[in-house]
C-alpha cells in the first residue's frame, strides 16, 4: 500500500479495557460505511506498517474500537497510542462525489431528540474547534454547537437535522 492509494482514517487515542483493545478516533467528517478489513496500517517511524485486525467495532461516531492480533494486554496497546491509522481507499463502501461543508446546512430545520422543531439554521459561525449553527428560534437567534456526536439523523430529502439538544439552549 502506498500513500497514493490509502487515506488517513484516524488516530489511536486510548486503550479500551485491559485486553489490548484500542479506541480509534476517525478523522472523517462524516460517517461512511467501511468494508470489513483484515488489516490497517499504522505509521511508525514514517513507514506504514500493517497490523492485522482481530476485532473492529463501531462505537459512537467518530470512534471505533480495534483489537489487533498479538496485542493482548493494556501495556502492548499503550505503545501504539497516538499512531496514525491508514486504510486502503477501496475499503470505503461509498464515497460522496461532493464534499459536504457545514455551510450546506444553512436553511435546514433542526429538531431536538423529542422530535420538536427548534428552528431553521440561518447562518454558521465557524470558530476553530467550536463551530456554531445560528438558528432562528421563535424570532430570535440562538447558537447551537455543531458536534457531530449529537446529530442523530440527517434527512436530506426534507432538509432536517435531528440533534440531541440540552434544555438550556432553548430555555432563555
- 117 and 37 fall within a common domain: no
| pLDDT attached to residue 35 | 66
- 17 and 65 fall within a common domain: yes
150 φ/ψ angles, rounded to the nearest 5 degrees: -95, -10
- 48 and 108 fall within a common domain: no
CATH of the domain at 75: 2.40.30.60
Last residue of a domain, one of 91, 125, 150: 91
| pLDDT attached to residue 104 | 81
Q: What is the DSSP string of 142-165?
A: EEEE--GGGEEEEETTTTEEEE--
Residue written as grid cell 497510542:
81
| pLDDT attached to residue 3 | 45
Last residue of a domain, one of 46, 62, 91: 91
| pLDDT attached to residue 148 | 75
- 13 and 74 fall within a common domain: yes
- Is the four-CA dihedral 148, 151, 154, 160 of positive or negative sign? negative
pLDDT tens series, the chain, 172 aa:
444 467 788 899 999 988 899 998 987 767 766 666 788 889 888 888 889 988 888 878 788 898 999 999 999 999 999 999 888 766 665 444 445 677 888 899 999 988 999 999 999 898 877 888 999 998 999 999 888 778 888 888 889 999 988 877 776 5
| pLDDT attached to residue 2 | 44
The whole-angstrom separation of Cα 63 and Cα 66 is 10
Domain that holds residue 131: 102-170
- 112 and 54 fall within a common domain: no
CATH of the domain at 131: 2.30.30.240
DSSP three-state, residue 77 = helix
Number of compact structural domains in the chain: 2
Element (H, E) at 14: strand 6-16
Q: 159 near 109, Cβ under 8 Å?
A: yes
Last residue of a domain, one of 56, 91, 126: 91
Amino acid at each position: 500500500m502506498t500513500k497514493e492509494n490509502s487515506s488517513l482514517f484516524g488516530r489511536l487515542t486510548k486503550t479500551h479495557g485491559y485486553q489490548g483493545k484500542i479506541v480509534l478516533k476517525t478523522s472523517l467528517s462524516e460517517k461512511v460505511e467501511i468494508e470489513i478489513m483484515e488489516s490497517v496500517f499504522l505509521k511508525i517511524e514514517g513507514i506504514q506498517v500493517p497490523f492485522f485486525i482481530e476485532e473492529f467495532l463501531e462505537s459512537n461516531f467518530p470512534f471505533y474500537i480495534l483489537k489487533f492480533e498479538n496485542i493482548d494486554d493494556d501495556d502492548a496497546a499503550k505503545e501504539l497510542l497516538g499512531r496514525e491509522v491508514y486504510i486502503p481507499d477501496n475499503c470505503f463502501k461509498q464515497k460522496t462525489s461532493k464534499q459536504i461543508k457545514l455551510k450546506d446546512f444553512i436553511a435546514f430545520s433542526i429538531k431536538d431528540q423529542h422530535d420538536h422543531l427548534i428552528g431553521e439554521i440561518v447562518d454558521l459561525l465557524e470558530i476553530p474547534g467550536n463551530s456554531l449553527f445560528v438558528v432562528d428560534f421563535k424570532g430570535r437567534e440562538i447558537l447551537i454547537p455543531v458536534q457531530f456526536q449529537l446529530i442523530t439523523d440527517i434527512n436530506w430529502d426534507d432538509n432536517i437535522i435531528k440533534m440531541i439538544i440540552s434544555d438550556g439552549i432553548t430555555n432563555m
